[in-house]
């Protein structure tokens, strides 16, 4: 075995050279690996005793792409293009032997090879779009030549992976290896050495010619999918590359791909998405947990309450194959909850997202019950009844008596003080908040709320179980609204002031939709029934809100009532401005003696977004979030902040924290203390630092 460098070895088996890449954890194509691969290839090509070359990876996966942490730094030769060129120039066949995930630059490396073979569990994708990039190693030019333009458009604009069976079917790989990959690759290579090499992918033109005969295919694809790309550069650039693949000679297509790749690499959008890639992974790391804090395995779960939240939470566990006992007080509510769950599964199945027998498998994992005593066997108990402190305390007193020793007692509150709930239990160390977002079976975010006495193992287990049910978990501390809703409230307060001063819901919504949010806050409120919820809560605590109360009193409960902040035509979800709402808002202005004025969009934007940034800074000072990037993860996954804008903290740095602070000082004079810059912002500005990299001390 020849040691090429720290990342690559060259073995020989008879006439076959085996180049093994070993760069844990995911064999990213960092500089050292590129150097090793190029040197190894050069040696194998030059050795007359070797007739074929296998490219294979050690560890858990084939090359999962370029090293994302190298982007933004000065490029260092050799690049992926140099390795690709060496493979294509090789007189000996080069075979990519794939396991794990061949992604991005990794798949592009394989596409340059003469053959691709893989184990059945392997997966393939060009996920660059998720980083605001496009495949810059020839992927946009080679993939359509192998699999056709329709499949290439779908794969590259979504970044989604496909499995080995599909890859074989569409022509992406040549063979699926049943047994040991290396042995299979050597056998394949021996045969390949004995026959003529196939044409390189770059020279295969049949599928390109077929696409050329159907020039409408791009516009059609844009018409169907373009709405999802609103505001984003990468998908549009990808489409341009694919058009180049069809319409230009290969080398010109490659040149176009490189040009557009460089443009994206330098864009704020890709910077935001690359930042977010690491932010999401960092959120999973909890500083201060002792190394011997091991998560406990959660084998069974009990959920209390079969309403909207409880039902959605239950589905998450059933989807992950974990048995759940779903507990309600009376049969009617239980039946209704189970009915909603079943209908949700049936809808998913009807859309092709679930096989029919999977519905039954998942339903079979849900054990309905009318007895709270049935929590006794569960490792994790999640209380998901409506938000009422008295009721929650009563339930936790019961859980304390009924739950087995070592069970986690979780509350799905979005607002209540978890320390107060934990105080009624004799084991407050087992109590934690699991704040799911609605619809809980769909939304990826989970705020895990650590209370004052929550034990480390409970935190570690909750983080682990979140991953198991495919949630993105962020650890937060107890405070009013926790992190996400607390920031939303700061925005909501200004939003209401803007209405009273002269804006209308449609203007406020448009400003945020133009920024990239999928919907504006008033359309969201109408969709989620927020007018009624707010009204009922105010009635409970004896509070008043003129606009909200007036809407509710007129039965304007939102979309389901056909009217809320907007009007809805029967059967339509399209929000239409409504003169009655405008009248209510104008009445609110009159009551406050405010002369309404036209408010510029820019002012609306700043007055909505800057209080969010300020509130986030206060949260960090209070150590209710571990790091600023966690707040970005919360806002992207839970509140529709556009991923390609990185999150409110990343955005603050992009604008410039000092610029924001200065503007807040002006706004403070006109609109009060909500704009008084938080001490953390003042400190970071004085130190000439940004906020996105800020970490609260453990």
Catalytic annotation, residues: 108, 128
Query: Is there a contact between 215 and 158 (Cβ–Cβ < 8 Å)?
Result: no
What is the distance in angstroms between the CA of the first residue and the CA of the last residue of the chain? 47
By beta-carbon proximity to ligand 3H9, the closer residue of 281 and 689 is: 281
- In the complex, the smallest distance separating the C-beta of residue 163 from ligand 3H9, rounded to whole angstroms, is 14
Cis upstream peptide for 439 (omega within 30°): yes
Query: Is there a contact between 421 and 413 (Cβ–Cβ < 8 Å)?
Result: yes
> How many other β-carbons are positioned within 10 Å of the β-carbon of residue 85?
15
Cis upstream peptide for 115 (omega within 30°): no
- In the complex, the smallest distance separating the C-beta of residue 392 from ligand 3H9, rounded to whole angstroms, is 35
Q: Provide the token pair at 557.
A: 């409960």
Using CB under 6 A, list all residues that contact ligand 3H9.
25-26, 28, 64-69, 80, 101, 103-105, 108, 127-128, 131, 133, 135-137, 139, 278, 281
- Cα–Cα dist 168/57, whole Å: 20
By beta-carbon proximity to ligand 3H9, the closer residue of 284 and 455 is: 284
CA distances from 106 to 33, 124, 147, 475, 483 (A): 12, 9, 17, 33, 38
- Cα–Cα dist 293/305, whole Å: 31
- Cα–Cα dist 460/466, whole Å: 10
- Cα–Cα dist 611/693, whole Å: 19
By beta-carbon proximity to ligand 3H9, the closer residue of 127 and 144 is: 127
- In the complex, the smallest distance separating the C-beta of residue 113 from ligand 3H9, rounded to whole angstroms, is 16
- In the complex, the smallest distance separating the C-beta of residue 467 from ligand 3H9, rounded to whole angstroms, is 9
Residue with tokens 């010109």: 252
- In the complex, the smallest distance separating the C-beta of residue 679 from ligand 3H9, rounded to whole angstroms, is 31
By beta-carbon proximity to ligand 3H9, the closer residue of 131 and 551 is: 131
Query: Is there a contact between 313 and 384 (Cβ–Cβ < 8 Å)?
Result: yes
Closest listed residue to residue 613, CA positions, set 655, 584, 570, 581: 655
By beta-carbon proximity to ligand 3H9, the closer residue of 67 and 615 is: 67
- In the complex, the smallest distance separating the C-beta of residue 108 from ligand 3H9, rounded to whole angstroms, is 6
By beta-carbon proximity to ligand 3H9, the closer residue of 108 and 615 is: 108
- In the complex, the smallest distance separating the C-beta of residue 277 from ligand 3H9, rounded to whole angstroms, is 7
Q: Is 26 helix (H, G, I), strand (E, B) or coil?
A: coil
Closest listed residue to residue 40, CA positions, set 61, 13, 20: 20
By beta-carbon proximity to ligand 3H9, the closer residue of 67 and 509 is: 67
Q: Name the strand (E) or helix (H) holding 433.
A: strand 431-436
Query: Is there a contact between 613 and 660 (Cβ–Cβ < 8 Å)?
Result: yes
What are the two backbone dihedrals, phi and then psi, of residue 566, each rounded to the nearest 5 degrees?
-125, 175
């Amino acid at each position: 075995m020849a040691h090429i460098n720290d990342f690559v070895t060259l073995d020989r088996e008879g006439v076959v050279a085996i180049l093994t890449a070993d760069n844990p954890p995911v064999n990213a194509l960092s500089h050292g690996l590129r150097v090793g691969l190029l040197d190894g290839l050069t040696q194998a090509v030059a050795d007359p005793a070797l007739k074929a070359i296998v490219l294979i990876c050690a560890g858990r996966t084939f090359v999962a792409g370029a090293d994302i942490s190298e982007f933004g730094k000065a490029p260092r030769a050799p690049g992926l293009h140099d390795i690709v060129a060496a493979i294509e120039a090789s007189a000996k066949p080069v075979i990519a032997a794939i396991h794990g995930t061949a992604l991005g630059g990794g798949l592009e490396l394989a596409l340059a090879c003469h053959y691709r073979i893989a184990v059945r569990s392997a997966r393939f994708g060009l996920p660059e779009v998720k980083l605001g990039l496009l495949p810059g190693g020839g992927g946009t030019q080679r993939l359509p030549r192998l699999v056709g333009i329709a499949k290439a458009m779908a794969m590259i604009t979504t970044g989604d992976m496909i499995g080995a069976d599909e890859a074989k079917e569409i022509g992406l790989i040549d063979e699926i290896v049943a047994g040991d990959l290396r042995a299979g690759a050597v056998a394949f290579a021996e045969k390949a050495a004995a026959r003529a090499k196939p044409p390189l992918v770059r020279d295969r033109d049949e599928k390109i010619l077929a696409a050329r005969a159907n020039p409408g295919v791009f516009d059609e694809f844009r018409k169907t999918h373009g709405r999802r790309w609103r505001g984003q550069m990468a998908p549009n650039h990808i489409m341009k590359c694919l058009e180049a693949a069809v319409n230009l000679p290969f080398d010109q297509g490659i040149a176009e791909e490189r040009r557009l790749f460089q443009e994206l690499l330098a864009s704020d959008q890709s910077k935001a998405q690359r930042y977010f890639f690491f932010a999401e992974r960092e959120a999973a790391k909890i500083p201060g947990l002792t190394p011997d804090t091991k998560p406990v395995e959660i084998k069974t779960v009990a959920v209390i309450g079969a309403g909207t939240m409880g039902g959605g939470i239950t589905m998450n566990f059933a989807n992950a194959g974990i048995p759940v006992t779903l507990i309600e007080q009376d049969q009617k509510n239980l039946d209704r909850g189970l009915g909603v769950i079943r209908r949700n599964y049936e809808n998913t199945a009807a859309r092709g997202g679930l096989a029919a027998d999977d519905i039954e498998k998942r339903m079979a994992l849900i054990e309905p019950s009318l007895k709270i005593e049935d929590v006794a066997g569960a490792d994790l108990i999640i209380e998901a009844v409506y938000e009422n402190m008295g009721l929650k305390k009563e339930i936790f007193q019961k859980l304390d008596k009924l739950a087995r020793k070592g069970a986690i007692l979780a509350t799905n509150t979005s607002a209540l003080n978890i320390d107060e709930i934990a105080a009624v239990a004799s084991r407050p160390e087992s109590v934690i908040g699991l704040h799911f977002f609605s619809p809980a079976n769909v939304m990826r975010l989970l705020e895990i709320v650590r209370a004052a006495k929550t034990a480390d193992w409970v935190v570690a287990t909750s983080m682990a179980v979140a991953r198991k049910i495919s949630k993105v978990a962020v650890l937060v501390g107890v405070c009013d609204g926790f992190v996400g809703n607390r920031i939303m409230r700061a925005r909501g307060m200004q939003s209401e002031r803007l209405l009273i001063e002269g804006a209308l819901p449609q203007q406020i919504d448009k400003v945020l939709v133009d920024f990239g949010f999928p919907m504006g806050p008033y359309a969201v409120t109408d969709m989620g029934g927020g007018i009624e919820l707010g009204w009922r809560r105010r009635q409970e605590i004896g509070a008043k809100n003129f606009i909200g109360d007036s809407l509710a009193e007129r039965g304007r409960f939102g979309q389901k009532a056909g009217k809320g902040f907007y009007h809805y035509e029967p059967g339509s979800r399209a929000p239409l401005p409504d003169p009655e709402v405008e009248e209510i808002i104008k009445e609110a202005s009159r009551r406050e003696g405010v002369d309404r004025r036209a408010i510029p969009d820019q002012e609306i934007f700043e007055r909505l977004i800057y209080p969010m940034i300020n509130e986030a800074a206060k949260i960090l000072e209070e150590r209710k979030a571990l790091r600023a990037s966690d707040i970005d993860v919360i806002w992207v996954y839970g509140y529709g902040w556009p991923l390609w804008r990185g999150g409110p903290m990343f955005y603050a740095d992009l604008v410039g924290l000092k610029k924001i602070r200065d503007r807040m000082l002006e706004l403070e004079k006109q609109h009060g203390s909500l704009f008084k810059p938080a001490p953390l912002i003042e400190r970071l500005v004085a130190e000439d630092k940004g906020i996105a990299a800020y970490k609260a001390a453990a």
